[in-house]
Amino acid sequence: MGTGNLPVNRPDLFSHLFVYGSLLSDRPAHAVYLSGPDCHLLGKAVLDGYDLYDLGPYPAILRRPHAGVFPDHAPAYVYGECYRIGPDTLRRIDEYEGEGSLYDRRRVAVRIEDRSVEAYTYLFRRVISADQRVALGLQPWKTDTMNQLAATHVWYAAYGSNLLRERFLVYLQGGRFRNRCKEYNGCKDRRPPLADHPYLIGRQMYYGNETSSWGDGGVCFLDPCQTGRTPGRVYLISRAQLEDVQQQEGPGSRWYPDRKKLGTLEGIEVLTLTNHVRRQEHNPPLDYLEIVREGLLETWGDRMSPEEADAYLLRPAAGWSVV
């Protein structure tokens, strides 16, 4: 990266540029467009309020809200780099990005460490499918990584006690949850999820069966035939990890034998565990309900009040209206 001899007496000649895809420092186009003497890396940067999409050979960003607004209400951030560049470089990059036809160059505010910088970036002009969004845990954008993950990983959608990350990690890493009597073997692959965020499940939740693990009472199931609005949480884990989680949840016909596909997110399947036969309903134990409540507020606390969490848990079939 060359810093060159920047004419500090003519700062008006220079612009800040936020890049998030093929112009990143480890991508091939960088050497062609951003290695000249009028280019200077200011640092890694974050753009708030935008979503990143994987379009195959290149990425794109759009401001939220937009036509592809998501039911899971995941935070909107794009990770990239910010450069100080000269006018010749800006003109060349306009041509490269198809400014005015494929992308529009716009001014945005990006964060570099603890300061805000106004910079140009390129916004996509065309329609984008919601399932092409790139999760925060998979940024910055790299097509090879996304393709590999789609083959090896899934989003596991939790809606009961696994809403609480601490609880779910016991399934992955083994041990006891808060010194309760039951001990879990964990997964053969004990690595934590690559990413997680809120996800609104379009199926109805209810309390079924009776369990002694939490005290007498029912636990959460999804009814695959009843639509609803169930606040959940998705974890990006490997397919092998999901198999091990299912074994620990209970794959028998009475518990969670079924993997239900809920859709796709960032091109990766969203799967959950439930039972296709509606179980006999029972009120949940208070200890269990408190963990579900704690997980709800940990996952959705910026949009769900404690009172809303209590109301939803009292009548889960009514669902929850996201604000």
What 8-state DSSP symbol labels residue 127?
A: -
Band the pLDDT of 122: cuts 50, 70, 90: very high
Q: What is the pLDDT of residue 199?
A: 86
Contact 154, 269 (CB under 8 A): yes
Q: What is the mean pLDDT of residues 52-73?
A: 72
Spatial distance between the Cα atoms of 86 and 17, rounded to a whole number of angstroms = 10
The phi and psi torsions of 226 (rounded to 5 degrees) equal -110, 120
The phi and psi torsions of 239 (rounded to 5 degrees) equal -65, -35
Q: 């969670």: which residue's tokens? A: 256
Q: What is the mean pLDDT of residues 11-25?
A: 87
- Domains of the chain are 11-141 (3.10.490.10), 152-317 (3.10.490.10)
In tens, the pLDDT along 164-178 reads: 999 999 999 999 998
Q: What is the pLDDT of residue 5?
A: 42
Does position 12 have pLDDT exceeding 90, yes or no? no
Contact 185, 318 (CB under 8 A): no
pTM attached to this predicted model: 0.66
Contact 71, 10 (CB under 8 A): no
Structure tokens at 141: 């954008």
Among the listed residues 47, 81, 41, 46, the one whose alpha carbon sits nearest the alpha carbon of residue 64: 47
Q: What is the mean pLDDT of residues 29-49?
A: 92
201 compared with 224, residue with greater pLDDT: 201
Spatial distance between the Cα atoms of 289 and 205, rounded to a whole number of angstroms = 13
Q: What is the pLDDT of residue 31?
A: 86
What 8-state DSSP symbol labels residue 78?
A: E
SS3 of residue 12 by DSSP? helix
Edge-to-edge strand ranges of the sheet holding 219-238: 196-208, 219-238, 153-158, 268-274, 258-265
Alpha-carbon torsion angle 122, 24, 80, 77, nearest 10: 60
What is the number of helices (H) and of strands (E) in the chain?
7, 14
In tens, the pLDDT along 219-247 reads: 999 998 899 999 999 999 999 999 999 99
SS3 of residue 316 by DSSP? helix
